[in-house]
């Protein structure tokens, strides 16, 4: 589980969260987490309230490649 503080405003595109930070190298972490979790047959969930953004990740103990 990873928890980060937030200003309370979250931008979304469809079901994906977008970074509020400026610059082209911000916001790639969430996308990479989604890609890796999908590739290895895992699970990711995200929740938020007014001040905390939380990401939970579960990956199988054995390597299970999922066709993308």
Predicted pLDDT of residue 64? 66
- For residue 56, the model assigns a pLDDT of 92
63 neighbors 34 (Cβ within 8 angstroms)? no
pTM over 0.75: no
- What integer pLDDT is reported at residue 1 of this predicted model? 75
Residues of the chain with pLDDT under 70: 7-28, 63-65, 68
What pLDDT was estimated at residue 29? 79
Helix (H) or strand (E) holding 1: none
Distance CA 34, CA 61 (A): 18
DSSP letter, residue 25: T
């Amino acid at each position: 589980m990873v928890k980060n503080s937030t200003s309370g405003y979250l931008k979304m595109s469809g079901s994906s969260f977008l970074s509020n930070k400026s610059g082209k190298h911000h916001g790639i972490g969430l996308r990479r987490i989604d890609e890796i979790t999908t590739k290895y047959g895992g699970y990711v969930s995200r929740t938020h309230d007014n001040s905390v953004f939380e990401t939970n990740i579960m990956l199988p103990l054995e390597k299970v490649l999922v066709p993308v």
